Amino acid sequence: MDHANLIVGIGGAAGDGVASAGNTLALAVARQGQGVYAYNSYQSVIRGGHSWLRLRVSAQKPLNHGDQIDALIALNQDTLDRHLQELGSGGVALYNSAKIKPSYEPPQGVQLCPLPVPELAPSSKELPVMQNTVAVGAMLRLMGLDFAGLESVISTTFAKKPKVVASNVAAAKAGFDYAGAHFQPLPRQLKPTSQKWALVTGNEVLAMSAAMADCKFYCAYPMSPASAILHWMAAHAKQLGICVRQVEDEISVINMTIGANHAGVRGMCATSGGGFALMTEAIGMAGIMETPVVAINVMRAGPSTGVPTKTEQGDLNQVFGASQGDYPRIIVAPISIPDCFAVIQDAFFLADRYQCPVLVISDLLISEGNETVDPAVFEHIREIDRGETILPSANGELPATNGEPYLRFKNTESGISPRAVPGVPGHLYVAATDEHDEDGVLISDIYTDPVRRKKMVDKRARKMSTVLEHLPPPLFSGPADAEVTLVGWGSTWGVLTEAVERLNAAGITTNHLHVRYLVPFQVREVQKLLGRSRRIIIVENNQSGQFARHLRAETGIAANGHIRKYDGEPFEPKHIVAGVQDILNGKAEIVNVLSTEPGWRTDHPSGTSADWKGRLSGIARAATH
């Protein structure tokens, strides 16, 4: 690690407050101008289990959660046991010495930082989470930052409970001071800067961007990892005048959302793969009805219920194959948390302009990941352009029709037909899922006619011919004539960016192509860029190589190597670097990465599994793998 950054690991059971401790620390450092990238690896339980949050902090904003912790906050014994051995020389381990102690010798050069929590925060007896506040205070000190940031965070968090503020601030300060007095600071120290940061999750950005893009209807059925979009929307519904509804299932979600769009408002919905499956039928409806709609699939590890709290890029086939038949639609995958903002701004624009579904593919890593974003990013809002939508006017004015009968599905050159919404005088029509003529009259009944049928399919298909003009080019960086080209899509952008840097630093010249728009595919640009590549390696977070298949289908380009991961955990930069090396060394064409850090050893209390070796303890455990 040669960036001036620090990676803090915070671990505990569900219910121990891992996420909120992380959030407090992240906000505290962000308010001192530090960029943060956080990834929380948690389980599908409400209490118990092991929650493991990694927080990477640097004035130069980190793009992923990195691959080796510098500091550990262990909120329970299990965490200390699991992760102590992951620290390298110069690393620190903080824990409540009144509750836990190391089960084995720490690795060489690692500083144990026991915190006498009951002394530092007397209220921790009643309120065990006070230990987190103490630890966060201490960590801040070891990082070299000021206390002011943390105090302000605590004040805002508990704004309505001054007493709680006081006791937390006291506990944090006690931790801060204790660390100053008793422990060595971390070898690499952070320095406050004046940069302002907003600390956001991808889901929050997706929601907020929609609100800023005039989304007035949001409908959902809860599903991890998409639920937080609903929560943000619900929390802001009244204030922003957005109709936010939780309804009976994802089928009603998508149908209601399309209904709202049909009636003239911008509406959005989101879910994960299982719910998306239920939405697919209606996405085809929006296709043939030419109704705009923005629908998000936040992928998690599948198939089926799969591993609901884990990340994966395994739903590309599903989203691509949503619904029967051919119909126009656009598919885009944001590449990072800040990119969610631009993608949603564009999605609404494109949906309105092309009167078609825009399907957004996010994943758990982006959606639940927490990152600091320069607030300037959120000023890049796109002018609200409703395309050829004819809306009712408050004063009941009749829109011009030039005396011609209104044809909702007029066979225009562009394929786009002016879209009146219910309530507009003089533009009556029926929108049908059956094939219909320009006037909306069914041609699926007695009037079936190959000529009309083909005309309407062609009209709809033609719409897609100009979409490419509106898309930003695929992202390409690095030396043109590199030895290796890494190709990715979606959430792997940050980790790939760092891996490319490291590979170049290590003498393997590498460049990086990242694809955002899956449909329509920027065939020409991609072919041009990859045509020059000497060795193409595709990196994706799934087992079968869904993107590799997509790329080949669209461009004919078959990669020379693949780095894949489908164990639930996201890539870390080192995985990519090692994967590229293995491929270059001819070890494998497909490298399937596995997160095998000793910390990941599992305790299987049932003891029923064939390969369960029982709970290993101490150093022995760290050594056995």
Partner 1 sequence: MTTLTAATPRKLEVKDFKADVPPDWCPGCGDFGVLNVLQKACAELEIPPHELLVVSGIGCSSNLPGFFRSYGVHSLHGRALAFATGAKLANHRLTVIVTGGDGDGYGIGLNHFIQAMRRNINLTYIVMNNEIYGLTTGQVSPTSEPGMVTKSTPMGNLEQMLNPLALALASGCGYIARGFSGDPKHLQKLYMDGIQYPGFALIDVFSPCVTFNKQNTYHWFRDHVYRLEDKGHDPTNFHAAMDRAIEWGAKIPIGLFYRNPNPRPSLDKLDPALQGEPLVLKPRGLTAEQRRALVEEFM
Ligand X SMILES: Cc1ncc(C[n+]2csc(CCOP(=O)(O)OP(=O)(O)O)c2C)c(N)n1
Q: Applying CB under 6 A, which residues contact ligand X?
A: 221-223, 250, 274-275, 278, 305
Segment contacting partner 1 by CB under 8 A, of 62-70, 377-385, 461-469, 540-548: 377-385
Q: Which of residues 543-562 bind a second copy (CB under 8 A)?
A: 543-544, 546, 549-550, 552-554, 556, 558
**What are residue 217's DSSP bridge partners?**
243, 267
Q: Which of 426, 472, 473, 479 binds partner 1 (CB under 8 A)?
A: 426
- Helix 523-531 to helix 546-555 angle, to the nearest 10 degrees? 100
* Using rule CB under 8 A, residue 590 touches a second copy: no
Residue 378 has, within 13 A of its CA and on its CB side, a CA count of 20
Judge whether 39 and 494 are in contact, CB under 8 Å: no
Closest distance to a second copy from the beta carbon of 103 (Å): 20
Place of tokens 């691959």: 67
Q: Find, among 92, 122, 130, 86, the residue nearest to 109 by Cα.
A: 92
108 contact choice in ligand X, partner 1, a second copy, none (CB below 5 to 8 Å, kind-dependent): none
- Helix 493-505 to helix 573-584 angle, to the nearest 10 degrees? 60
552 contact choice in partner 1, ligand X, a second copy, none (CB below 5 to 8 Å, kind-dependent): a second copy
Q: Which residues lie below 8 Å from residue 499, measured CB to CB, with a gap of 6+? A: 486, 510, 573, 576, 577, 580
Complex with ligand X: residue 46 or 394, whichever CB lies closer: 46
Phi and psi at 230, nearest 5°, equal -60, -45
Locate 582 and state its tokens: 């293995």
261 contact choice in a second copy, ligand X, partner 1, none (CB below 5 to 8 Å, kind-dependent): partner 1
Report the first-to-last Cα separation within the chain, whole angstroms.
25
Complex with ligand X: residue 78 or 250, whichever CB lies closer: 250
Locate 48 and state its tokens: 């118990």
Locate 587 and state its tokens: 């070890």
Q: Which of residues 309-328 bind a second copy (CB under 8 A)?
A: 309-310, 312, 314-315, 317-327
Amino acid at 396: G
Return d(Cα 139, Cα 201) in angstroms, integer: 23
Complex with a second copy: residue 12 or 35, whichever CB lies closer: 12
Closest distance to a second copy from the beta carbon of 598 (Å): 11
Amino acid at 177: D
Complex with partner 1: residue 403 or 607, whichever CB lies closer: 607
Complex with partner 1: residue 77 or 224, whichever CB lies closer: 224
Contact flags string 284-303 toward a second copy, x per CB under 8 A: xx-xxx-------x-x-xxx
* Using rule CB under 8 A, residue 15 touches partner 1: yes
Closest distance to a second copy from the beta carbon of 45 (Å): 5
Q: Which of 89, 189, 477, 602 binds a second copy (CB under 8 A)?
A: 602
Closest distance to ligand X from the beta carbon of 281 (Å): 6
Cis amide bond preceding 225, omega within 30? yes
Contact flags string 401-420 toward a second copy, x per CB under 8 A: ----x-x--xx---------
Return d(Cα 491, Cα 477) in angstroms, integer: 16
Complex with a second copy: residue 396 or 405, whichever CB lies closer: 405
* Using rule CB under 8 A, residue 421 touches partner 1: yes
Segment contacting a second copy by CB under 8 A, of 132-140, 281-289, 364-372, 492-500: 281-289
Return d(Cα 132, Cα 25) in angstroms, integer: 10
Q: Which of residues 262-291 bind partner 1 (CB under 8 A)?
A: 262-265, 267, 274, 281-282, 285, 289
* Using rule CB under 8 A, residue 237 touches partner 1: yes
Place of tokens 């038949």: 325
Can you give 96-142 as a three-state secondary structure string?
ECCCCCCCCCCCCCCEEEEECHHHHCHHHHCCCCHHHHHHHHHHHHH
Return d(Cα 277, Cα 283) in angstroms, integer: 10
Q: Which of residues 488-517 bind partner 1 (CB under 8 A)?
A: none
Complex with a second copy: residue 27 or 495, whichever CB lies closer: 495
Judge whether 366 and 337 are in contact, CB under 8 Å: yes
Q: Which of residues 431-450 bind partner 1 (CB under 8 A)?
A: 431-434, 441-442, 445-446
* Using rule CB under 8 A, residue 47 touches partner 1: yes
